[in-house]
Structure 1
Amino acid sequence: MKILYFTATGNSLYIAKSIGGELYSIPQMVKEDIYEFTNEKIGIVFPLHAWSVPPYIVDFLKKAKFNCEYLFAVVTYGIYSGAVAKHLSDIADEAGFRFSYISRIKMVDNYLPTFDMEKEIAKEPKKKIEQQLEAVKSDITASKEGTLKENFLDKAAMNYMFRRDGKPFSEKRLKVHVVGEGIENYIYVEDSCVQCGVCASVCPVNNIEMDAKNGKISLSDKCFMCFACIHNCPSNAIHIKGEVSNARFRNNHVTLKELIHSNNQM
């Protein structure tokens, strides 16, 4: 079994490791231009963004070719998963493949503009993550077929988050900040930055560089709001406008070294 995953704060990596099999980082595969995968079972594990599949994962799936008998997806999310199964199925239809199984696991929500991380971490035991995980693992072991049951309201919520051109609201909002305000005015760096390079190392799209001139970091326009840089900054120097608190999150089953390996090791 092969598991392709993307992770920013470790939630999806923990799920991928727990399911088992050979792990392949999607950012590494993209950087190495590898899009064809062969195995009896292949899985995709990633976090939900704005009730939908992140644009980065959408682009990867549209280019990917899966040679397998059983293709599954497990989505990690915090509060509400919308109609992510329909979104995934639509992407698969367009790309010419089919998911045998789509499921989800409710975990700590790390979306900084909305949630206080201290409060979200305190809620973690109530989410019974291990029980959810065991159920999903059992389904995959048994090669269970099926996807999430989603109703009209779930699909309406997903449609609300999309523009007429089919791109998610999260991407629309990001383009406003990147093209309009400039990403450097949306994600900003305080003087406590010591240029340790961790942010650049965990960024999956090589969007961050050290700027020796001003002693801080330089942000480009490839950001898709995964917040890996913010959550993993050892100095807590990177912030986003509108964040609820200064608290940060990393899954306690995953190390910083693993995140760096996942997102930026060639």
Structure 2
Amino acid sequence: MKVFYFTATGNSLDVAKRFGGEIYSIPNVLRGNQFHFEDEKIGIIFPCYGFAAPKIVREFIEKVTLKSPYIFVIMTYGNKLAGGVNWFVRYAEENNIHVQYADGLLMIDNYLPFFDIEKQKLKKKYTEENLSRLLNDVNQTKRYIRNRSFTDSMLTKGIQYFYKRKPNFNTDKDFSVGNDCNQCGTCVKVCPRNNIKLDQLKPAYGGNCEFCLACINLCPQKAIRLKKESNPNARYLNENVTLKEIIAANN
């Protein structure tokens, strides 16, 4: 089994490790020269962005060839999935990737503009129970695509339309770097886009931002901040994943 994942603060990597098999980082695959993969089972695990898939995952889907009788998709999310799973299944189909199983997994939400990480940690999300179900489903080669309501579908379409009309809504122009930055370079190492350089001993952003917020969440000094966020002191790293693993995955 081969499992492909994209992660910023560890949730999707944590899930990918639970499935086992050969694990591939999507950013690293895109930097390489191998784009054809075959196996008895192939998994794709990534977070929900805007009730759909991150841009880097879309680029992966457009570029690779996946040959398998059983392809499964797990979309991690923090509060609402809307029509994201079904949107992705259709997107994959348009790129000749045929999905047999697709579902979501509720986890901690690291989207700092809207959610306070500390409050998120207090919510019961039954992640372990739901993950056990997903693992069992895939182990049994179950065929299933998560249902969506009309409202869910319209939410996803609406948000995606908004992002197309407002391409500068989520960009690195929203970030600021405080004087408490100690030039450790962690932000450079965790960026999946190679979008950050240390310029005059401070992080400088290049405008090619995934808005995954890895640089902000994983800064040891909490020196990188958003102009607007619910709790500037709250940051997140999945407890089952190390910073070293995320650096290896994204850079």
TM-score relative to the length of structure 2: 0.96
Q: How does 1:1-266 map to 2 (within 5 A)?
A: 1-123=1-123, 126-163=124-161, 169-170=162-163, 173-176=166-169, 178=171, 183-184=172-173, 186-212=174-200, 215-246=201-232, 247-264=234-251
Shift of 1:32: 1.0
Structure 1 CA distance for aligned equivalents of residues 163 and 81 of structure 2 = 14
Question: Are the equivalent residues in 2 in contact too, given 1:55–1:171 (CA < 8 A)?
Answer: no
What is the SS of the residue equivalent to 1:4? strand
User: Which consecutive segments of 4 or more residues in structure 1 shift more than 2 A?
Assistant: 169-178
Question: Alpha carbons of 1:79 and 1:177: their partners in 2 closer, same or farther (altered >3 Å)?
Answer: closer
Shift of 1:216: 1.0
Report % sequence identity: 38
Amino acid across the alignment from 1:204:
P
TM-score relative to the length of structure 1: 0.91
Question: Are the equivalent residues in 1 in contact too, given 2:93–2:99 (CA < 8 A)?
Answer: no
Structure 1 CA distance for aligned equivalents of residues 30 and 128 of structure 2 = 30
Structure 1 CA distance for aligned equivalents of residues 137 and 57 of structure 2 = 23
What is the SS of the residue equivalent to 1:66? strand
What is the SS of the residue equivalent to 2:57? helix
Shift of 1:177: 6.0
Structure 2 CA distance for aligned equivalents of residues 38 and 175 of structure 1 = 37
Question: Alpha carbons of 1:177 and 1:23: their partners in 2 closer, same or farther (altered >3 Å)?
Answer: closer
Structure 1 CA distance for aligned equivalents of residues 30 and 65 of structure 2 = 13
Shift of 1:17: 0.4
Amino acid across the alignment from 1:211:
D
Deviation track 1:185-241 (CA, whole Å, cap 9, x = no partner) reads: x111111111101001000010000012xx311101110210010000001000111
